[in-house]
Structure 1
Amino acid sequence: MALFLTLENIYKLYNIDPSQKTEGIVILHQRNHPEKGYTNHSRLFDGLLLGFMLQGSMKAQIHFLEHEVKAGDIAVLQPQLMIDTKFLSEDAEIVTIGISSDFITSFPVLREFIMNNQIRWQPIIRLQHEEIKLQNELITLIQSFYHKKQSLRKPEMLQHLVITLICMISEAYSGLADNKNLTKNRTHEIIDDFYILISKYATQQRSVKFYAKKLHLTPQYLSTFLKQKTGKSVLQWIDHTVILHAKTLLKSSNLSIKQISNELHFEETSLFCRYFKRITGVSPGAFRNG
């Protein structure tokens, strides 16, 4: 399943009690269920995602590169970064905190944090051993406040607790200053620029030539480069992004399939249906009902 997550649709997609809704923040506490079987799961969130691996492990592709996340690790996903979960251990337990873009823009320290290029290419971090206990206690406290009954100051209290947690993570990244040159090579620049383009244009432009021209590269070079560096060609990344949006609209909205087809700039609904089935193996209607 692939999902484009926002604070507006996440409650429906994950069956979260809407009474828990708190402005700017959502929290998920998830445990793997081996008896249900595991399926590859792609997500893209329009804000900041913090994933805390409490136990077990997972393998995930984050912003084109594969990472292993172990118990005690923190996965930091800046806004609009795609994560594809490839594997979850049977004992996997994860707490995820989602923070909206509006929340982020209200606090200068958060704006600086999400603009850090180092985080994009090193999204997995671990606090110092002596701070992991504080981190876990803070996560428990944040969850307790999140689930407490609504009150006038609840959002404000949650905000301060979450900012404290992010400051701890930011401090851990500052200790990796010697590795900042990791983000400055040409390979990363091309991938970053391409990702910005498909995030903006994938639902409107599905031509390799369009992206190659924007990046001042030949179509053949761009496709070969992305295939070598990320495992997917330009067309595969475009398809991946379009299907991400299509599946989210099918699951989280009441738009008709024709309306979704129009939203994704297909000339005819039949073209969208064939496109969707060719890539996913099922029709849009079957996916929505399933």
Structure 2
Amino acid sequence: MMENSINMPIFDEKNMTNARYSFCHSNGHVSAGITDLKKSRGNLIDTNGCVILIVTSGYAVASINFRKYPLRKGFMTLFFYDEVFRMEKISSAFSARFVTLSYELIEEALIDVPFPKFWDILYEYPVYHVMQQEWKLLNGWWEQMHWIENETVADYRDALFRIQFHTLLLAMSGKMSKGMFPPLQGDVNRQWRLVTDFLRLLNKYCTATRDVQFYADELCITTSYLNKLCRKVLQVSPKTLIDRLTVSEIKSCLANTDWSVKKIAEELHFEDVSYLCRYFRRLTGMSPIDYRNYAETL
């Protein structure tokens, strides 16, 4: 159907997610289908709980936690509600099978992953090139999820989804334990963990505050050390990351809602409309209204 220490993530339901692009076509816990993601381009994507993408054709570039990754046939990516995800480029031939699951369905499986470094590795390497012998198995897994969504009795559906998702995590955990993912290197692991913690906080609080000091305090480090970490790991400053995500939130609101600019300023805790307009123009070269008109042509 077309689109109509264990460092485990902590769930937080955000009010702003309804302005983001969503895979879900209903109010159910799961959606499985096929997408070209054209409508999502440039917008933040609401991961709901977890999203699995299996690329079947074409080429794209995804931004995951502000790092760019190529996506082509044979690639899989798995990302969660606390990650910043959007599509930067999408070829005309791009197509992917997707599964999106609510937090309620994945919560138990998240806790029961045996490999201690599972989350560290997954956050550092969110895109996986599927080996040839695994490709049929992975697509068979998607077909089972699609079948469960459309053909099974509702009373047993959620239980079947939980089993299937847990099976996928256990299979990935097993591959990690055998060294089939790139290894984490010493202190880089510790530094990357702090940066990913910052990105989770940013995804959670960016609509409420754009103060670097707030995030440094939450991480119990100094602003200078946070700046050093972000520049070393991501090659940009924390202020730049805050601005990028804030601009993406504004763009999502402009493209995906009928909110007035005043309403958007209130939702994102700007002092007033004038300040939001100056902020947006300084970082994009466009006014909010000009961007809304442009987004309507995409």
TM-score, normalised with respect to structure 1: 0.75
SS in 2 for 1:287: helix
Distance 2:208 2:102 in 1: 25
Higher mean displacement: 24-33 or 75-84: 24-33
Q: Which residue of 2 aligns with 1:143?
A: 146
Paired AA for residue 137 in structure 1 = G
The alpha carbon displacement at 1:81 in A equals 0.8
Q: Which residue of 2 aligns with 1:191?
A: 195
Higher mean displacement: 88-97 or 257-266: 88-97
SS in 1 for 2:35: strand
Q: Which residue of 2 aligns with 1:175?
A: 175
Higher mean displacement: 86-95 or 256-265: 86-95
The alpha carbon displacement at 1:51 in A equals 0.7
Instruction: Give the 5 Å matches for 1:56-205.
Output: 56-105=58-107, 108-112=108-112, 116-126=119-129, 129-143=132-146, 146=149, 153-154=153-154, 156-157=156-157, 160-161=160-161, 163-164=163-164, 166-177=166-177, 178=179, 181-182=184-185, 185-205=189-209
| Identical-pair percentage | 22
Q: Which of 231, 240, 246 is the aligned partner of 2:244?
A: 240
> 2:43 touches 2:248 (CA, 8 Å); kept in 1?
no
Q: Which residue of 2 aligns with 1:284?
A: 288
Q: Which of 263, 270, 273 is the aligned partner of 1:266?
A: 270
Q: Which residue of 1 aligns with 2:6?
A: none
Question: Quick check: 1:222 aligned with 2:226?
Answer: yes
Distance 1:13 1:211 in 2: 26
Distance 1:30 1:156 in 2: 27
Distance 2:130 2:109 in 1: 19
Distance 1:199 1:121 in 2: 17
Higher mean displacement: 174-183 or 226-235: 174-183
Which ranges in structure 1 are unaligned for 5 or more consecutive residues?
Answer: none
Q: 1:246 to 1:258 in 2, by over 3 A?
A: same
Q: 1:204 to 1:197 in 2, by over 3 A?
A: same
C-alpha root-mean-square deviation of aligned residues, in Å?
Answer: 3.7
Q: 1:45 to 1:251 in 2, by over 3 A?
A: same
> 2:23 touches 2:100 (CA, 8 Å); kept in 1?
no
> 2:50 touches 2:81 (CA, 8 Å); kept in 1?
yes
Q: 1:183 to 1:116 in 2, by over 3 A?
A: farther
Distance 1:92 1:100 in 2: 25
Listed one character per residue, the Cα deviations across residues 198-237 of structure 1 (whole Å, up to 9, x for unaligned) are 2233223222333334444443443343134213321111
SS in 2 for 1:265: coil
TM-score, normalised with respect to structure 2: 0.74
> 1:30 touches 1:95 (CA, 8 Å); kept in 2?
yes
Distance 1:156 1:245 in 2: 37
> 1:24 touches 1:99 (CA, 8 Å); kept in 2?
yes
Paired AA for residue 109 in structure 1 = A
> 1:27 touches 1:95 (CA, 8 Å); kept in 2?
yes
Q: Which of 20, 23, 28 is the aligned partner of 2:28?
A: 23
Distance 2:135 2:23 in 1: 30
Q: 1:232 to 1:154 in 2, by over 3 A?
A: farther
Which ranges in structure 2 are unaligned for 5 or more consecutive residues?
Answer: 1-12
Q: 1:176 to 1:71 in 2, by over 3 A?
A: same
> 2:84 touches 2:203 (CA, 8 Å); kept in 1?
no
Q: 1:22 to 1:213 in 2, by over 3 A?
A: closer
Distance 1:235 1:123 in 2: 24
Listed one character per residue, the Cα deviations across residues 94-140 of structure 1 (whole Å, up to 9, x for unaligned) are 122211112223xx224445x83321122223555444223223423
> 1:46 touches 1:80 (CA, 8 Å); kept in 2?
no
Paired AA for residue 271 in structure 1 = Y
> 1:60 touches 1:67 (CA, 8 Å); kept in 2?
yes
> 1:276 touches 1:283 (CA, 8 Å); kept in 2?
yes
